């Protein structure tokens, strides 16, 4: 534990979207966590949805990059059309699985937020 980082951690917590107000007590940071209101729960669900969508966009960007790389390999003659086709299919399977997992995690988190 680096005591010199306390002020940086305090600042980062204050600037986050977490809706918390840390209390600095020497080299201890106390974070009072109030009961969640209905409005705060809705805000947290929006945050979860945004984070989930950002994650899916990132996965899709990587899919695009992979498909571009495969096309480049095919154009350069380093891979056959069949190899590229199989690889594209595999990339699509991986992306679909990743997006499905993100959706599952997002839905579970939304359920958690409203259960408490």
**Structure confidence at residue 70 (pLDDT):** 96
Angle at 39 between CA 33 and CA 42, to 5 degrees: 100
**DSSP secondary structure, 53-79, as one string:** HHHHHHHHHHHHHHHHHHHHHHHTTSS
**Structure confidence at residue 16 (pLDDT):** 86
Instruction: For the chain, list the domains and their CATH numbers.
Output: 1-34 (no CATH), 38-115 (1.10.132.20)
Average pLDDT of span 19-23: 83
**Structure confidence at residue 4 (pLDDT):** 80
Distant-in-sequence, close-in-space partners of 21: CB < 8 Å, separation ≥ 6: 14, 32
Instruction: Name the pTM for this structure.
Output: 0.70
Q: What's the pLDDT tens digit per position in 51-98?
A: 999 999 999 999 999 999 999 999 999 999 999 999 999 999 999 999
């Amino acid at each position: 534990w680096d005591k010199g980082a306390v002020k940086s951690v305090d600042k980062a917590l204050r600037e986050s979207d977490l809706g918390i107000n840390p209390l600095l007590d020497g080299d201890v940071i106390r974070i009072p966590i109030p009961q969640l209101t209905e409005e705060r729960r809705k805000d947290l669900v929006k945050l979860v949805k945004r984070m989930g969508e950002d994650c899916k966009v990132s996965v899709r960007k990587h899919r695009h990059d992979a498909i571009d790389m495969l096309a480049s390999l095919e154009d350069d003659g380093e891979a056959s059309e069949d190899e590229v086709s199989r690889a594209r299919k595999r990339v699509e399977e991986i992306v679909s699985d990743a997006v499905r997992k993100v959706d599952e995690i997002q839905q579970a988190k939304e359920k958690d937020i409203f259960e408490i």
